[in-house]
Amino acid sequence: MSSKGKATSFDIAYEAGVSQSTVSRALSGSSLVSLDTRRKIQAIAKQLNYKVDKNASCLRRQHSVTLALLLFEDPTPDDSLINPFFLSMLGSITRACARQGYDLLISFQQFSNDWHADYQDSHKADGLILLGYGDYLVARSTLQKLVEQNTHFVRWGAVVEGQPGISVGCDNLSGGRAITEHLLGLGRRRIAFVGSIGEQCPEFRDRYLGYCAAHEAAGIKVDPALQVDALDSTEQVGHQALANLLERGITVDGVFAASDLLAIGATNALREAGFEAPQQVSVVGFDDLPMASYASLPLTTVQQDTKLAGEVLVEKLLQQIRGEAVESVMLPAKVIVRRSCGARALP
């Protein structure tokens, strides 16, 4: 024990029979130290009532021990400008950071001319978590700049071949296929797809490809007239998109909206046009927002596991910060059945 009676990392090293640098790496969670050794060192540190001097550690390593969570400003009916889907992810990200001993800075994406200096170079944050991006083709150049500047970052979004940086996303194609198969299993054959399918929105595009794959597997030809664009994920956009489709005289008996918000808007458009859901038209969404289960017509949807997503985002970013090899990952999707689909259609 040191002469001042306060345990130091050298005391822990002596008790554990390892070097002081190994103690430092173990207490910072480095994978360079075996799990058994980390646990041994952590147990000794607890026994000696050792407390890490966070400020001194940060100065030595030039780390802030802070992560920045940067939200894209999405169109919303209120002043929040935050997509409700990302709000459901915040708690998980915050808890994951706390478990790793990191603070979390939350702000909006500004995309200044010197994005890298705003955060990592100024030691404001050791890495960035990006939620949302708008038009992917526009955002791609910014992501590429982050890569060129060696910024540690991870984003929630589609895993796209050749993309800049690391993504954590949902298996949108499998989710889109599963929810479409559910509709087809109910006897629906004229299923509208509400969502843009261009390269600027790869998540929606993958969900549409899943929709097409389910039709193909069932031996049903996809009717391009049943797809209607909707880039922004809002109730208003979903309402207008389906209303436009119905005004063209397109017959539908099912609606697969690329997000829950679009689905809720589409349901309202059906009612205004005199259709009964789910008796005449089944409606499904994608996301499983909390409001999906409490809507006037509880929504059948595809669940994206936001709790797991938050944990994996933080894990992948910390792996980058520690200099470990990191790859993008797709999380599984799960169909959640509620009343908006109804029973099997009559022959």
CATH number for the domain that contains residue 90: 3.40.50.2300
In this structure, are 110 and 208 located in the same domain? no
Q: 156 phi and psi, to 5 degrees? A: -85, 125
In this structure, are 113 and 134 located in the same domain? yes
What pLDDT, on the 0 to 100 scale, is given for residue 10?
A: 86
Q: 199 phi and psi, to 5 degrees? A: -70, -15
CB atoms within 10 A of CB 75: 12
In this structure, are 209 and 309 located in the same domain? no
Choice between 56 and 285, residue whose per-residue pLDDT is larger: 285
What average pLDDT does the segment 131-154 reach? 88
pLDDT > 90: what percent of the chain?
59
Q: Is residue 327 part of a domain?
A: yes
In this structure, are 33 and 121 located in the same domain? no
8 A C-beta contact, residue 156 and residue 89: yes
- Alpha carbon distances (Å) from 85 to 21, 38, 229, 327: 42, 36, 20, 24
| Rounded (10°) angle between helices 35-47 and 9-16 | 120
Quick check: helix, strand or coil at residue 300?
A: strand
pLDDT > 70: what percent of the chain?
88
Q: Is residue 247 part of a domain?
A: yes
The owner of tokens 């999707």 is: 333
Quick check: helix, strand or coil at residue 22?
A: helix
| Rounded (10°) angle between helices 20-27 and 35-47 | 90
Q: Is residue 251 part of a domain?
A: yes
pTM of the predicted model as reported, rounded to 2 decimal places: 0.79
pLDDT in tens, 37-56: 988 998 998 898 887 655 55
| DSSP, residue by residue, 95-140 | HHHHHTT-EEEEEE----TTHHIIIIITTS-SEEEEE--SSHHHHH
pLDDT in tens, 194-249: 999 999 999 999 999 999 999 999 999 999 999 999 988 899 999 999 999 999 99
Token pair of 275, please?
């259709």
Q: Is residue 59 part of a domain?
A: no
Helix (H) or strand (E) holding 228: strand 227-228
CB burial string 204-240: b at 16+ within 10 A, e below: bbbbbebbbbbbeeeeeebeeebbbebebbbbebbbb
In this structure, are 17 and 130 located in the same domain? no
pLDDT in tens, 293-318: 888 889 999 999 999 999 999 999 99
Q: What residue numbers bound the domain in which 133 lies? A: 66-169+305-331
What pLDDT, on the 0 to 100 scale, is given for residue 33?
A: 82
Number of domains into which the chain is organized: 3
Q: Is residue 79 part of a domain?
A: yes
